[in-house]
Structure 1
Amino acid sequence: MAQSKKKWVAFKSNATVPGDVMGEDNDQKMQVGEPVQLPESYANHVVQDGFAAFCDAPKKTAPKKSGGGQSAEEKAAAEAAQKLAAAQQAVSDADLHLKSVAGTADEGEAREALAAAEAELDALQSAS
């Protein structure tokens, strides 16, 4: 399965991607919010089904000359920012889904999903 075009996505929950999709022998376990580059068709599939959201490629940072890396506080702040961004994307995705199913039998379920995503975002915002 040789596909040249790829997209970056971040999964909304821990997920397993089949090895053949990744071009590897073994399935790959993905962590919440961690950017991963997938073949375009599979990336579109997991985003459309609500398992992931499109994201930017991870930024490459130059290694620090002193101290040898991020402090625990810096790591916690970066992780909190990443969770907040993922929650904001989840609200945006849920809102778009609700708009797409408005007036159908799926509207109630979409409203519940939006409310849950908004509650999670509110909890993260009040914690920071």
Structure 2
Amino acid sequence: MTSTDTTPVQAERDDAERAVLAVLEDVYAAWAANDPDAFVADYTADATALLPGTHLRDKEEIRAAMAAAFAGPLKGSRAVHDVQSIRFPGPRTALVISKGAILLAGESEPRNENRALDSWVLSEQDGAWRVRGFHNCPEHTA
């Protein structure tokens, strides 16, 4: 007899999706607080970030870059994101595609040059989802 009940599998996927989204919410809440330590709290030690012209090779480089940005050009800023998709290409691995934007201090709407397309790679380790990789590129070109 063949069963078509996929409830446990779907329930596990729904739980994983909620957990992944919670990690992203933590990252964006830390950005709003301009807190570089909280920003990388859910990153793995060997996480990488690729930004236009920049390759940050680990959690400490990411934290240091965000600390400098929050003390300088991103002081008082916040970031927004709109998740476009979450895929699970393998066990305990998630790929998130989102549209993001930076709102600088005093802005209520992001400027076109501050809009981006983002990809996130997360993995589950010891029951917790962690950011392993982040890539960002401009949404609009000149």
Q: Same fold (TM over 0.5)?
A: no
Which one has a larger percent helix, Structure 1 or Structure 2? 1
Give the TM-score normalised by structure 2. Answer: 0.28
Which one has a larger percent strand, Structure 1 or Structure 2? 2
Give the TM-score normalised by structure 1. Answer: 0.31
